[in-house]
């Protein structure tokens, strides 16, 4: 939803982090930027999914104080390298200096922040195509890539050659197990989108570290349905 108060409100619940979605969500850059300190004020990390290919936007959110960025459709090693370059300061990447919001939120001195920043910012490359699965080890090996984030819906479309949308298909499950094994071997982070709280639990039991449970709109609709059901019982 295009209102920074929504992620700020959700940040006050028991979530470990809040993801602001600029790829498919209705929120624009300036609104998402305002959400970052509001999420941080609730003591939670702000994660941002940027639009496809907008790696420079990733740096701007880190400057504002976001804890991590999810980059969709990372399908080549060059995609992963470009993303990492905007996420990490030299010598790992090429991130430019200007973290005014991050300094204010962290309370760190500039020199201290510079030394710690590469370890504080989490860069997650989305794996959601056959191409990405085929080079997942290479993506994970790129310096500055901290892990992957799987989009099961797009992955199901890709793996079925466009025949179906089924993020719970057997083929997707097999791909998830494969991806997890590669992430574990690399010692990095595995994230994923879930379709429900129950599915999130299944994915956590599989070994995923970061799981998006639902969107703000889904939470709103579910809350409305629960209230109506109780009122009409």
Which domains occur in the chain, in start order? 5-231 (3.20.20.60)
Position 213 scores a pLDDT of 94
- Report the predicted TM-score, pTM, of the whole model to 2 decimal places: 0.94
CA angle 51, 53, 56 (to 5 degrees): 90
Given this model, what pLDDT does residue 195 score?
Answer: 85
What's residue 25's pLDDT?
87
Gap between the Cα atoms of 229 and 142, Å rounded:
50
Note the pLDDT of residue 63.
97
List the chain residues with pLDDT less than 70: none
Provide the pLDDT for residue 215: 87
Q: What is the pLDDT of residue 136?
A: 98
Active site residues: 24
pLDDT in the model for residue 199: 95
Question: Strands 210-212, 189-193: parallel, antiparallel or unpaired by DSSP?
Answer: parallel
Which sign does the torsion angle of CA 14, 105, 190, 70 carry? positive
Average pLDDT for the chain: 96
Answer yes or no: are the C-beta atoms of 46 and 36 closer than 8 Å: yes
């Amino acid at each position: 939803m295009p209102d920074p108060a929504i992620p700020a409100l959700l940040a006050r619940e028991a979530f470990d982090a809040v993801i602001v979605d600029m790829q498919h969500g209705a929120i624009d850059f300036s609104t998402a930027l305002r959400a970052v300190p509001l999420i941080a004020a609730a003591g939670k990390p702000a994660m941002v999914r940027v639009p496809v290919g907008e790696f420079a936007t990733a740096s701007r959110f880190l400057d504002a104080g976001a804890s991590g960025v999810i980059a969709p459709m990372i399908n080549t090693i060059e995609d992963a390298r470009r993303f990492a370059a905007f996420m990490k300061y030299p010598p790992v990447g090429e991130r430019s200096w200007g973290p005014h919001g991050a300094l204010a939120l962290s309370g760190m001195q500039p020199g201290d922040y510079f030394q710690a920043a590469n370890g504080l910012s989490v860069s997650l490359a989305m794996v959601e195509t056959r191409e990405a699965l085929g080079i997942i080890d290479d993506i994970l090996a790129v310096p500055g890539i901290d892990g992957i984030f799987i989009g099961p819906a797009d992955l199901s479309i890709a793996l079925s050659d466009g025949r179906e949308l089924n993020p719970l298909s057997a083929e997707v499950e097999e791909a998830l197990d494969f991806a997890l094994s590669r992430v574990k071997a690399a010692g990095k982070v595995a994230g994923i989108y879930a379709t429900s709280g129950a599915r999130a639990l299944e994915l956590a039991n599989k070994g995923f570290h970061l799981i998006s449970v639902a969107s703000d709109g889904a939470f709103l609709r579910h809350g409305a349905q629960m209230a109506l059901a109780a009122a009409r019982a």
